[in-house]
Structure 1
Amino acid sequence: MRRRRLLQLSGVAVTAAVAGCLGNNPPPPRRSNAISDVALGDQSESLTVNVADDPWVMSRYDADTSGSLAEPSSVLAALSPVGLASAQKGGGRGGSGATGRGTGGYTTAPRTGHGYAVYHGGDDDDEWYENHRDEVQRYGAAAGALGFAYLGSNAAFTDDPPGPGPVPWDEKRTEPSDTETFDLSRPGWYRVATKLDGENVNHDFGWAAVDVRVDSQFGQDSYDIEEEWKVSPRI
């Protein structure tokens, strides 16, 4: 009986451990200030991209704290998305809410301070950052490059959207100016992204991207912007 009891307890412990592992939700998207605006250019036939005046990025990169800008707790309010994804209420990290670009979740997705929908954003992102405030820092960054690429038609993009990070660029501009313009060739999805290099630390923070869906204006050769998603790696 004692051996059976030990086996039962061991089974409970293993089950609890497995459940704990499966219950661990992924961290939220990394927060950054990289691209302040993406808009239609002259005659609505191009995209005008504005690089943020003071780029920064949140990271778990462990550097001397003198290289960071501020403690996360002191800037948390400024980082909070505007609005919540109602479809994710109660879902927690990694829930099945409005996270998919091209799949109908745009209207209910949380928004950044610049108005972009947040890919894989959730209503508990602030809570995660608060609970992990000792693990992340906010670093000043510089836009080392600006990339632009056509990702495909809306149908093709919905079937196989690219994840965060760089893609094969149609154009790549090093040391970009504050405002850059790119010609639109056809309707569909485009990605613009900045490569973030540490300003006060010697570190490559990767890319911060915005995916934009444009459609043709009826009977014209110009375009309308239908969706804008901020696409970031998980922190």
Structure 2
Amino acid sequence: MSPGPRQDDNPGGADAGGLAPRRAVRPRDAASLILWRQGARGIEILMGRRHHNLRFMPGVLVFPGGRVDPDDHRARPLSPLPAETRRLLEISATPPRATALAYCALRELHEEAGLVVGEMEGDRLRPDFAPLSYLTRAITPADRPMRFHARFLIAEAHHAKGEIKGSGELEEIRYFALTELHEQPVAKITAMILAEFEAWLATPAEDRDRRQFTRIQGRDSRLPERRRS
């Protein structure tokens, strides 16, 4: 018998339900990937729907993603992280953790959607980090019983190989048009991430690495990110 859907992993929604903790909970490092393409309906983003049998936020759309696992530190990438992507990840992570976060985003894409950015060696992913760009990070409010410190990365869909095939963690995994998402149920944090992505998309490609990066902290605070030199 296959296990049921994981309710405590995806940072796009599972972090906000339940009773408030008696003491502050340390956020778990997590990563999500925004896989996008130019489609017939304009810009489209790969998302999945949280199971309707979940107690919290059933049917809400989230990006593929989840928490960092210990094995994510054993990544053997086919290509290194782009310098700017690494630098931005390292604002809030050590160099080994930055690599693990990037691996986590691609591993979760494979586990939740069946798509591969890189190559498979047996059942182990060898990631291709070259297509990854950094978007933002978000930290769950301190009064939540489960918290995530999630980093959101971006890649164009043509870098992903395979056919979309869900693992049971998410339902209805497909490309949703940005215009369609305004009519779909999404968490407030997801809507904020989508707004960040639209701003990134509207910025000329040559200027994206020089834009003012932000982090999202608490319920709705958008704070300027301080870059390390």
- Normalised to the residue count of structure 1, the TM-score between the two structures is 0.26
Structure possessing the higher radius of gyration over alpha carbons = 1
| Relative contact order, higher structure (CA 8 A, sep 6+) | 2
Decide which structure has greater strand share: 1
- Normalised to the residue count of structure 2, the TM-score between the two structures is 0.26
